[in-house]
Homo-oligomer: A and B are copies of this chain.
Amino acid sequence: MHTMHRVSVLGAAGYSGLELLKLLAAHPAVTVVAAASDSNAGKPVHALTGGPVSALSFVKTEEALATPAEVVLMAVPHDPAPALAKQARAAGAKVIDLSNAHRATDVYGLTSLFAGEIAGASLVANPGCYATCVITAVAPLVRHGLASRDVFVAAGSGVTGAGRQAVEAMSLGEMHDNVRAYKVLKHQHVPEIEMALGKLGVAPRVTLTTHLLPIARGIFATITATLTAPVATMELVELFRRDYHDDPTVTVCETPEDVSLRKVVGTNQTLVGVASKGDIVVVTAALDNLLKGAAGQAVENLNLVLGLPRTTGLTHLARHG
């Protein structure tokens, strides 16, 4: 019988942290030895998960870091992340950081593209949710030199992407049935996207407009670009399918219309659809911001650093209802 790997989760009571606990509870080769949440320390985990996910109670971050673990998964904000990562590594653990603190400097954990590097890393920067969606959708165009310089992205996210909120603007009374853009021309995921795509070919200039949608979870991205020369839809679909042929987490649909949030929320999949008309190309892509866009990909990264098959513990995930 195989040994169970010991892992800790920091920031375990946030939306992504709870998803991590839930995924790790179904993981056949991992045991969670500490779940840290400073504001919930002492409270049993099941009080927040609503199910018997774990027999643990939340502990203070310091206590979690003092508990020996092979890997520490960090679902904490950007600011405290570097110091915590340093502490975890000093204690001998590998680190998967879900914040954007290490994305510019360390191994970038986009599993579909960089599995090789990730396997040998001791600190993996788990990609942003929009970044995962957009990079997956645009990568084949960049890799094969098909897109002109400018790539235009309009993308929307459910509100869990912004974490827990206590402001009137995020109340159901105000956000129900609402749609609005945010961080126009200044979203922090743009450099991350351009950097990752730059490793595949000539980095495009990405203009990303992000929107808040009146739903809890899911990201849908629509990418428009000019092709360097006309390519038929059928050729693009085949090219995308070849690129993602072996990828267990990316599905290339028949058409951009076949991509939908409904099909991905609850799963660790990215759906992608592509079509062209003359020299214009449109790619749609969707994923669950808390799974493939956060906790799900983090478990893939965990599997890779532990030397396990990439989707271990993720194969039961399916769309909700």
Given contacts A51-B318, A173-B160, A316-B22, contact A261 B179 (CB under 8 A): yes
Q: A321 touching B173 by the CB < 8 A rule?
A: yes
Interface segment, A71-79, A130-138, A151-159, A193-201? Answer: A151-159
Is the C-beta of A147 less than 8 angstroms from some C-beta in chain B? no
Q: B180 touching A259 by the CB < 8 A rule?
A: yes
Is the C-beta of A81 less than 8 angstroms from some C-beta in chain B? no
Is the C-beta of A177 less than 8 angstroms from some C-beta in chain B? yes
Q: B181 touching A222 by the CB < 8 A rule?
A: yes
How many Å lie between the Cα of A169 and that of B271 in the bound state? 18
A165 proximity list for chain B (CB < 8 A): 168, 171, 173
Interface segment, A13-21, A99-107, A116-124? Answer: A13-21
Is the C-beta of A280 less than 8 angstroms from some C-beta in chain B? yes
A263 proximity list for chain B (CB < 8 A): 50
Q: A261 touching B180 by the CB < 8 A rule?
A: yes
Q: A320 touching B319 by the CB < 8 A rule?
A: no
How many Å lie between the Cα of A224 and that of B225 in the bound state? 11
Is the C-beta of A265 less than 8 angstroms from some C-beta in chain B? yes
Q: A152 touching B320 by the CB < 8 A rule?
A: no
Given contacts A15-B321, A255-B184, A321-B160, contact A152 B224 (CB under 8 A): yes
Is the C-beta of A209 less than 8 angstroms from some C-beta in chain B? yes
Out of B19, B248, B262, name the residue touching A177 (CB < 8 Å).
B262
Nearest neighbor of A180 in chain B, beta-carbon distance: B260
Is the C-beta of A146 less than 8 angstroms from some C-beta in chain B? no
Interface segment, A62-70, A90-98, A211-219? Answer: A211-219
How many Å lie between the Cα of A268 and that of B275 in the bound state? 35
Is the C-beta of A42 less than 8 angstroms from some C-beta in chain B? no
Is the C-beta of A264 less than 8 angstroms from some C-beta in chain B? yes
Which A residues, 261 to 291, have Cβ-Cβ distances below 8 Å to chain B? Answer: 261-269, 271, 273, 275-277, 280, 282, 284, 286, 290
How many Å lie between the Cα of A253 and that of B125 in the bound state? 38
A286 proximity list for chain B (CB < 8 A): 179
Which A residues, 153 to 189, have Cβ-Cβ distances below 8 Å to chain B? Answer: 154, 156, 158-160, 162, 164-168, 170-186
How many Å lie between the Cα of A167 and that of B318 in the bound state? 23
5 shortest A-B CB distances, which residue pairs? A154-B154, A26-B316, A51-B267, A49-B318, A25-B316
Known: A51-B269, A170-B171, A177-B215. 12 other contacts (CB 8 A): A19-B321, A49-B318, A50-B266, A159-B173, A166-B168, A177-B262, A179-B213, A181-B284, A185-B276, A207-B280, A214-B215, A266-B320
28 A–B contact pairs at CB < 8 A? A1-B1, A18-B318, A19-B321, A25-B316, A26-B26, A49-B318, A50-B271, A51-B266, A51-B315, A53-B316, A154-B209, A159-B173, A164-B168, A164-B173, A170-B171, A171-B171, A171-B175, A178-B261, A180-B260, A180-B261, A181-B259, A184-B275, A184-B284, A185-B280, A185-B282, A217-B320, A217-B321, A290-B321
